[in-house]
Structure 1
């Protein structure tokens, strides 16, 4: 069995899209995308086809890995935005060969830290990533509700000040850091919005979210991506409630989703559960130190 690799940047975009759909066939969560949506995902997530790989077995396309790269404070971060092998080639060591070649690519590009997520029920994938040096560091939860959010009191024991803006403005907050969840970082939220909570001029917390509207301009969905509180605060729940009052807009009728919320942020998970959101999916967040 001859295994070889090629940059996805060398292939026509339609061929890459088809390889993506074929490789994710039968996956635990449907991942098939139309060509337009695939192109949109590449752009919105800042993925690099030039530095992503197609895998071939005896000259036939067998799988792929799609990567994204960002820099923060002089460190180069890599994200595995999708690794999959066609059904006919699964169970033959192709995935491990693909991941090993991908880590070689990371080394050539001088990556400092590599992150990825995988469905928590996918024991095979978790074992594969652990075998090549990734370690689980947290769980990521997707919670949602179609029901109205209960009325929230917007008066608080502390006189918080609220500042609304675009997601990109959160980068100016001293509390902000990119974190390990790629899709919850600012470059993935170009049309996102932010809520900053201040107490006496000091930032106490912030939230990043996105609203979607239908063609008539009616709000149909709100997605929360992050809600962080300064570690020194003893009033974390009140700060989170103040931010969520702005994010969720309780008077509106729409779907509400909390996307890839870190399970280790238990106060937030508990508050979202109290508000009626239910966990519908769980991923494992994994990291590999490349240095």
Structure 2
């Protein structure tokens, strides 16, 4: 069996292994080739040079995707996917792929490694624990299908589109507020169909919203001095009207302020949740 860096193999092999490796996964991850490439090597942040594949007699049997970025001030390697095709599981392939993944992180000067795994996927959870990861955050998903409550909200705020550079400035103002990988600014910047809005008071931004064309909320934040005044609700009402949204969805880790805000609006928790797991190098 050969273990190769993904930059040294054809992309079709990577795609084939991903689909076969996740064919029986809890969540359906099958995507058309171009959509897979656009998503997993776009906003998700994976790179071929940081990913590895196991090949047995020209057949791809295992895959690990990796991406590196400065994450909350720490150079971090994220495991974007790890899969073994069903009839090759239990043969130590995942261990070897993870070893290459970790060695790559060390050689690139990473100080931390992280990943997400679905709660209830005990096999994966135990594997990651065995290799040194620890659960730190619980990532919850919420959705709202009934947007009628927003129709009663009379938006009094000056809300208008903002540039990504303005969103980045506000992120700096937020300080050490933790944002998960798939909601952080690099993910937002690389995502297609993303819309960023700011709420202004006396020409100063006091609240922001980053949301995509389908109603997925990546980031919503209001300056502490202006909370409790309906600004966040106003930002959502504006996006609903401007983008003709029929539903809203979001995800976030362990944040009681966001939890209370979304519950008050009627958001319902989805069945799927994830652990965010970390390992210090």
What TM-score does the superposition give when structure 1 sets the normalisation length? 0.80
SS state of the match for residue 150, structure 1? helix
User: After superposition, what is the alpha-carbon deviation per residue over 1:220-277, rounded to whole angstroms, capped at 9, x for unaligned?
Assistant: x2110122345x558357443343333444994512211x322x21232232233232
SS state of the match for residue 127, structure 2? helix
* Structure 1 range deviating more: 194-203 or 169-178: 194-203
Question: Are residues 285 and 168 of structure 1, via their aligned partners in 2, closer, same or farther at CA, if it must alter by over 3 Å?
Answer: farther
Question: Are residues 119 and 107 of structure 1, via their aligned partners in 2, closer, same or farther at CA, if it must alter by over 3 Å?
Answer: same
Check whether the contact 1:120–1:284 (CA below 8 A) recurs between aligned residues: yes
Mind listing any 5+ residue stretches in structure 2 that lack a counterpart?
Answer: none
Name 1:240's counterpart in structure 2.
Answer: 232
Does 1:61 pair with 2:60? yes
Which consecutive aligned stretches of 4+ in structure 1 deviate over 6 angstroms post-superposition?
none
- Report the count of equivalent residues: 273
The CA distance in 1 between the partners of 2:175 and 2:199, in whole Å, is 12
SS state of the match for residue 43, structure 1? coil
Name 1:287's counterpart in structure 2.
Answer: 278
SS state of the match for residue 27, structure 1? coil
What TM-score does the superposition give when structure 2 sets the normalisation length? 0.83
Question: Are residues 261 and 240 of structure 1, via their aligned partners in 2, closer, same or farther at CA, if it must alter by over 3 Å?
Answer: same
* TM-superposed deviation, 1:121: 1.6
Name 2:144's counterpart in structure 1.
Answer: 145
Name 2:166's counterpart in structure 1.
Answer: 169
Aligned-CA RMSD value = 3.0
Check whether the contact 1:189–1:210 (CA below 8 A) recurs between aligned residues: no
The CA distance in 2 between the partners of 1:278 and 1:93, in whole Å, is 40
User: Aligned match of 1:278 in 259, 268, 276?
Assistant: 268
Q: Which aligned pairs between 1:7-46 and structure 2 lie closer than 5 A?
A: 7-41=5-39, 42-46=41-45
SS state of the match for residue 127, structure 1? helix
* TM-superposed deviation, 1:172: 1.3
Q: Which aligned pairs between 1:53-202 and structure 2 lie closer than 5 A?
A: 53-56=52-55, 61-71=60-70, 75-151=74-150, 153-154=153-154, 162=159, 164-173=161-170, 174-175=173-174, 179=178, 181-190=180-189, 191=192, 192-197=194-199
The CA distance in 2 between the partners of 1:237 and 1:83, in whole Å, is 44
More helix as a share of residues: 2
Question: Are residues 206 and 288 of structure 1, via their aligned partners in 2, closer, same or farther at CA, if it must alter by over 3 Å?
Answer: farther
* TM-superposed deviation, 1:287: 1.7
Question: Are residues 167 and 93 of structure 1, via their aligned partners in 2, closer, same or farther at CA, if it must alter by over 3 Å?
Answer: same
